[in-house]
Structure formats: C-alpha cells, structure tokens
Amino acid sequence: MMDYSIRQTCLVDSKKIFPLWLGRIRTCLLGIPLLIVSCGTAPQFGLHGQEPSSAIQESVHPQAYYYFLQGSLAELNNDGAKALEAYQAGLTFDPDSIFLKFRIAKLHFALAQMPAAVEMAKQIPIEQIANRAMFLDVAKIFSGTGERDRALQVLVEGERQFPSEQRLYISHGLLLLTEKDYEQAEMVFRDLLKHVPGSADAHYYLGIIALEKNLNLEAVEHFEQAIAQNASFGRAYDKLVVLSEEAGESERAIDLIETFLKDVNPHHREFRLRLIRLYVAQKRAEQALGHLDYLLEQNPGDLHAQVRKAQIYGEQGNFSAAIEELNAVLRDRPNELRVRDFLGLLYEEMKDYERAIEAYQTNVQIDPTFFDSILHLGFVSYRLKQNEEALSYLDQAVKLNPKRPEPYLLLGLTYFQMKEYQQAKARLEDGIHQDPSNAELHFNLGTAYDKLDLFDEVVREMEQTLELDPEHADALNYLGYSYADRGINVEEAVSLTQQAVTLKPHNGYYVDSLAWALYKVGRIEEALEMMQRAVALVSDDPVIYEHLGEIFLLREEHEKARDAWIHSLQLDSTNEALKQRFRDTGFGEPVPTLSQQSTYTP
C-alpha cells in the first residue's frame, strides 16, 4: 500500500479519469451507515451494540475508489446486492484494501450471509486495523458467526491500541459473560475501571457478575457506584429495585423508584407501574391511585391504568367507583370484552346477578367464542341454582377450551347440587384426564366418591390431592375427619386435622374435625377445649353441637350434653339419628323447637 502523500498525488493526478463531480460528493459519502436490511440482521451474540463504523479508508486506485462510491450510493438506496457487486469490483483493482474488505464483510453479515461474512473478515489483518469502530464491527462479525476466539483477539488488540475506549471492553466482557466465563469477564471490567475510573458500565457489569456469584451485597455496591457515576442509569436502578424486593425491603425499592421518577425520568412507564404494584402490595391504595392518575394525565386513554384503578377500587370494596371506572372505558371502547367481563365479576361481588349476567351475555353476543364470559355465566347459573342453564354454559366452555379445568370442576359441583353423584364423578374424571395434575379436581372427585360410598377411592383421591398440594387444607381436613368419624387411623386423623388447623386456625369446621379426632383417641380434655373453640367460631352448625354433646356425655356432664343436642336439633330438626340417640341416652323425647331454647351457651 502507498503512504498518504503518494495516495493524495494519485488522486490529484487522476482527475481526468475520475470526474470532478464525484470528488465533490466524496465528503457526503464518507460517513454513510451500513445498509439496514429490512428482512433481518444477524444476531449479535452478546456483543455490545454499536453504531456502524465511520472508518473510511478510500481505495488508492482510482477505479477502486469509483466502485467504492458506486457501492456507497447503492447502500444509500438500500440495494445491498448492487453495493456488494460494486465493492467486490473495487477489490479487483485494490485487493489489499482493508476498508473494501470490511464493507463487504459487513454487508454479508447484515444480509445474514454468514460464511461469506466471516471469510471476508478473516482477510482483514487484525494488526492493520487502526480504527476503534472497525475493531468493534469486525469482532461483532466473528462473534455472530461463532468465531469466538477470533472475536476476542480482535477486541484485545483494540484495547491495546485504544485503552480508553469503553465500548471495546464492554463488548469483550459481554462476550465472556455469554460464555459464563465470569472470572475472565470480571478481569476485563476491572481493567476498564483502571483505564476509565468513572465507568458506570464497568460497575454495572461487575454487579451482574457479583449476582451470578450470589454476592448480592457486592452487587448492590457496584450498582450504587454505577448510579453515582451516571445518575440516569436506569438498568442499575432496576437491579437495585429487584434486589430490594427480593430482600423484603419494599420501602427501599419504593424510595429508589420514586427517586428515579423524580430526578431522572418521570415518564418511565414501567418503573411507575412497578411502584404502583409495590404500593398495592403494602395496601397503600391512595399512593397507587395517585400514580395511576399521573399516567392517565399523560394518556387519558391508557387502558391498563384505567383497569388497574378499577381493580384497586374493587380490592377496597368500593365497587361503585370500580364500576364507574369500567363503564367509562366501555363507553369509549365497547368491544373491550375483558373489561366488561371484569365488570360482570364486580356485579357478582355486589350480588347484583342480573347485571352480571347482562354483562356476560353482551360479551357472548359480540363474540360467541369468548370463553371467560361463557364460563362465568355457568358459574352464576350454578350459584343461582339454575342447574340446567349452568350445564349448558359449562358444556359450551368445555367445547371451546377442553384443556381448561374450571368448566369440569363447575360441572362436577353442579351435578353435586343436583345430587347426581355419578354424573359429578364422570365430569370430574373427564377434567382429570385433561389436567391430571390439578389438585382441586382430585379433591372434588374424592368427595364424589364419598357420596357414592367408595371409601378406598376417597382415600386415594385425597392422598393424590396432598401429593400435588401438601398444604391443601380442605384435603387434610376431609381425610382426617373421614378417618376420625370411622374410628380408623385415628392417630393419623389427629395429625392431618392438626395440619389443617395450623394452615387455617380460624376455620371452625377444621377445629371441629381436630376436636373430634382428639375425642376418638381419648384425649378428652383437649377435645373439649377444641370443640368449645369450634362453637365460638361457628355458632350455627348442628354437627358441632352434636359432637360437643358426645364429649359432655363421656365426661358425664349430662345436662350439658342434653342442652348441646337440643341446640343441634334446633338447627337441624331432620336429624333422626340424633333424636334416637337422645332417647336411648335417657333424655326423653327431644323437642327441638326454636321456642324451647337449650340452656347451653356457646
């Protein structure tokens, strides 16, 4: 290659061959970007994204330079094929031109022609590259074509020539991070800090490496340093917020986001939404609503913010405000089916079933395949004991989405309500066939087997439920009570019902089951204490009073036993078995009328 002075002479002497008008446009073409191809670009494999190289080393040969200009014009017109053809023609006149080889390699890479890109890049002598941007782009080509070692060689040479160029270190470090070579990556970023002590990026990536090593405190220090060097470093804020939440430090997470929104970017939507979520989790509804109002001031049509406001109002029990918010959305967007479905759920919470049904039916009229509203119509019909309507809607839901467990569960419950236990069993089994890992389906199938007097199957399904969900309180209670009531596996019954009570200590039915299991194993004093607690929690359940009477009877407290049974019969006068037990015990003829109150006080 010629030196610079000779090269200039060649260019001057070639004016007759190389028209002056091309020389005049030379400067406007020198910095053109690489062709952006709409059909897709090559993957970057972790290399730091950079602007296309601005390095221009025009070919010495005038014909080569002419083709360089032709290629540049083709790139401006997004004609990659023509640009390649021109650059390759130029290379025939100047086969040693690093820049032409570089442009060809980049075009092949942008066009996802990887073998050609890497073949041309290999023809560029790394030691002859004298431009920092070219180092980055050549490394990107090698990395993107799987030539990791060559990419690293290019970046190391670039760092040697340009020791204060952060982008080289960042690309180098990120390439190592993608290979999970954390030790080497850490060395690169620490080397960057030596040459650029104020590098926020270096601290940020050292923080990422610390996280990979589970050194969270060290990571926090680096992220804080990154923010100290660059107060608007959003990614560092993001990591600190995540770490604060993971550590249970919600207040710190809130302070970080509030600071970012106040001092850096008040329009950062994702951060504001996270802040809203944190406030909701802390039950600080007013602060959450305030930030939602800010979003709506910026964009009155922000659907997410409008619906989130309605959700918060609903969680507060302010259903009228929630409904007003949703109706405002639907006035402008009547085809927002999920919004109307949510509106129906709010009406259900208010027990305004007529309006709930109207909302769901409107959705189905707009879209007969809208699964959620059809499912909810089935559920409302079930709650209203409109069993035939419920079955019709739920069968539609199954046809629309046979993989979803909810329709099968509701079909089972509807048949339970109709006392058609074989049908309930069949539909629940259908659901399990579709979703065998659904604990609720197994639990309800177990209760169906109980109604069909298939106790072995009851045990099997309850055990399956607990295998899927060891903290399924209903299954723990159901199996424990079933054992206790039959007088089998009574020690296990105590253990199971105790676990249920531990999970839900204020559930009076669970407490009754535990008391009954304790009674069955002969722990009478504990049983009495638990049963009295159950009465205090549930004062209107006849079974609890029946159990209480049995405990008093065993303690020979006959008057209390009689009063407890009378109270039970006042609550359920159809219990013929208890009436007979009352007589057999010698208490006389039971008269369970509400006018004859028992003397037992819960």
For 400, the token pair is 């629309």
Alpha carbons within 13 angstroms on the beta-carbon side of residue 453 total: 0
User: Residue 589 domain-assigned?
Assistant: yes
Residues 6+ apart with CB under 8 A from 491: 521
- Please check whether residue 511 is in contact with residue 479, taking contact to mean a CB–CB distance below 8 angstroms: no
Q: How far apart are CA 544 and CA 372, in angstroms?
A: 39
- Compute, in degrees rounded to 10, the torsion defined by CA atoms 220, 225, 228, 234: -60
The confidence score (pLDDT) of residue 484 equals 97
- The single-letter code of the amino acid at 567 is H
Q: How far apart are CA 202 and CA 95, in angstroms?
A: 40
Q: How far apart are CA 20 and CA 26, in angstroms?
A: 10
Number of folded domains that form the chain:
1
By mean pLDDT, which of 59-68, 146-155, 398-407, 513-522 is the weakest? 59-68
397 phi-psi bin (left φ>0, alpha ψ -120 to 50, beta other): alpha
pLDDT band at 62 (very low <50, low <70, confident <90, very high): confident
Residues 6+ apart with CB under 8 A from 422: 452
The confidence score (pLDDT) of residue 375 equals 98
Mean of the per-residue pLDDT values of the chain: 89
- Compute, in degrees rounded to 10, the torsion defined by CA atoms 141, 41, 37, 32: -40
pLDDT at 595 > cutoff 90: no
Q: How far apart are CA 48 and CA 6, in angstroms?
A: 38
Q: How far apart are CA 443 and CA 171, in angstroms?
A: 55
The confidence score (pLDDT) of residue 50 equals 34
User: Residue 411 domain-assigned?
Assistant: no
Q: How far apart are CA 416 and CA 555, in angstroms?
A: 38
**Tens of pLDDT along 322-338?**
999 999 999 999 999 99
Give the pLDDT mean for 405-416: 98
User: Residue 600 domain-assigned?
Assistant: yes
> DSSP E strands: which ranges in 433-538?
none
For 254, the token pair is 């809130």
- 3-class SS at 548? helix
The confidence score (pLDDT) of residue 59 equals 43
The confidence score (pLDDT) of residue 38 equals 28
Give the pLDDT mean for 118-143: 93
Residues 6+ apart with CB under 8 A from 128: 98
Give the pLDDT mean for 465-490: 97
Domain residues for the domain of 563 are: 539-602
How large a percentage of the chain has pLDDT more than 90? Answer: 85
- The single-letter code of the amino acid at 111 is L
pLDDT at 14 > cutoff 50: no
The confidence score (pLDDT) of residue 249 equals 96
The confidence score (pLDDT) of residue 130 equals 86
User: Residue 524 domain-assigned?
Assistant: no
Residue 95, number of CB atoms within 10 A of its CB: 12
- Ranges 50-59, 139-148, 470-479, most confident: 470-479
Closest to 181 in 3D by CA, of 50, 49, 46, 48: 46
Give the pLDDT mean for 453-459: 97
Q: What are phi and psi of 402, to 5 degrees?
A: -70, -10
User: Residue 592 domain-assigned?
Assistant: yes
pLDDT band at 12 (very low <50, low <70, confident <90, very high): very low
pLDDT band at 591 (very low <50, low <70, confident <90, very high): confident
